[in-house]
Amino acid sequence: MVIVTGASTGIGAATARELARRGFHVLAGVRRDRDAEAIRGPGIEPLLIDITIPEHVRTLATRVDQDPQRRQLRAVVNNAGMGVNVPVEAFPMDEWRKLFEVNLFGHVGVTQAVLPALIRSKGRVINISSVGGKVAMATYGPYAATKFALEAVSDALRRELAATGVQVVVVEPGAVSTEMPSRAVAAANDLAAAMTPEQQLRYGGLVRAVNAQTVSHTTSCLSADAAAMVIAKAVTASRPRTRYTVGREAALIRLTRFMPDRTLDRALAAALRPHYRAGDRADPST
């Protein structure tokens, strides 16, 4: 048995189907009835779960402990999440807290709730991070902050559980063809519209350029099915790596290992420059 949160669409849905194809019984966490009906199929049992609601998390743990077939929990895939591209200054504090509740605290809560079952089965925790968990690009500060934190939690948890036989694996996707990038662009536009005139002057061109870059990347990125294959490997490999990368943006992670910060700053700025509109300035101070 495997739990996959955030299984309504994208990587989560593709992962649920791939694991079911491989013979696992998948508890697929979704938030709406229509998503439950869409994902339901052989080997896939949809559960209505909002990982930020403690009662839902407790219900999930009870479902695992009281499985009628007495199946062991092989893994939990912490995939639920939301994306947003917005400058640090312009992101309201209540939105910061909401983002951390979904992208970090919810995963910690799910992991805590099912960890006794995973310890009994010597199972696995698979945390879906991001290239943004290693590289914080402009306007990705809030999102990257949640993923950097998830990486840290994963490292600590891996070391804490080493003696129990439970393995902790991080999967770091780059651009993947899902609904998340388009939702992130829409959210960025809404937040940009609410910026003050001074913030618009500082960041308006930057936000538009990042959104254009995001759209351009999604036209040539990997499919959700390709990402699901990597996650399934993390679940099933006899000796899984501590981290798996997905997509061409994984090269950014390698760059951070040896490239000085200022050099990386210039490289990222150069990659973004072609996406600025005519009239927008890459450096509003000039």
The model's confidence at residue 286, banded by pLDDT at 50, 70 and 90, is very low
Query: Which two structure tokens, joined as six digits, stand for 228?
Result: 């699901």
Show the CA angle centred on residue 127, arms to residues 158 and 62, nearest 5°.
Answer: 90
DSSP string across 134-199: T---TT-HHHHHHHHHHHHHHHHHHHHSGGGT-EEEEEEE-SEESSHHHHHHHHHHHHHHTS-HHH
How many whole angstroms separate alpha carbon 45 and alpha carbon 69?
A: 13
The pLDDT score that the predictor gives to residue 270 is 94
| CB-based contact 228:14 (threshold 8 Å) | yes
| CB-based contact 26:42 (threshold 8 Å) | no
pLDDT in tens, 46-88: 999 999 999 999 999 999 999 999 999 999 999 999 988 999 9
Please state, as a whole number, how many other Cβ atoms lie within 10 Å of the Cβ of residue 233.
15
Compute the average pLDDT of residues 235-251.
Answer: 88
The residue behind tokens 């089965």 is 121
Compute the average pLDDT of residues 177-191.
Answer: 72
Question: Higher confidence at residue 224 or residue 26?
Answer: 26
Structural domains in the chain, CATH included, are 2-177+223-258 (3.40.50.720)
Active site residues: 143
pLDDT in tens, 83-135: 889 999 999 999 999 999 999 999 999 999 999 999 999 999 999 999 899 99
pTM: 0.91
The pLDDT score that the predictor gives to residue 76 is 98
The pLDDT score that the predictor gives to residue 284 is 47
